[in-house]
Amino acid sequence: MSSPLETISKDATVMEAAQQMRDKEISALVVRTTPRAIISSTDVLDAVADGRDVSNLKVTDVMTTDVETATPDLYMEEVAAMMTNYGIKHLPVVDDDYVGMISSTDVTAHLS
């Protein structure tokens, strides 16, 4: 799990999100909204591929909402099963509040 958690404002630009992901060498950021949301490198890539201007486009316009979450007490095999079942690569870890983010890369590294 990646911790501390990297977050971004829903009002930030997609360009800012991409720069933050690059600078932190991660591929997703939590957007502190209700319902829970993240912006991932896939969301950024989709916006670019659609020809959208990511320097003016807001995170809220492309973020993934109603994201699945995991609790800190789950076994890695359970996390892997959730990611497979939901077709996702990032899973925020929540214990009352966000505590971290687990990625498919984390799962692969742990199980290999």
In this predicted model, what pLDDT tens digit does every residue of 19-33 receive, in sequence order?
Answer: 999 999 999 999 999
The domain total for the chain is: 1
Between CA 97 and CA 100 the distance in angstroms is 9
Q: pLDDT > 90: what percent of the chain? A: 83
Is 2 contained in some domain? no
- Residue 65 sits in which domain range? 7-111
pLDDT range class, residue 68, cuts 50, 70, 90: very high
* Entry pTM: 0.88
Is 31 contained in some domain? yes
Q: Dig out the tokens for 96 from the structure.
A: 């009352």
Between CA 62 and CA 93 the distance in angstroms is 21
Q: Give me the pLDDT at residue 20, please.
A: 97
How does the average pLDDT of the chain come out, rounded?
93
Q: Is 90 helix (H, G, I), strand (E, B) or coil?
A: strand
3-class SS shares of the chain: helix, strand, coil, % to 5 = 40, 25, 35
Chain CA centroid to CA 92, Å: 7
- What is the domain-level CATH number for residue 34? 3.10.580.10
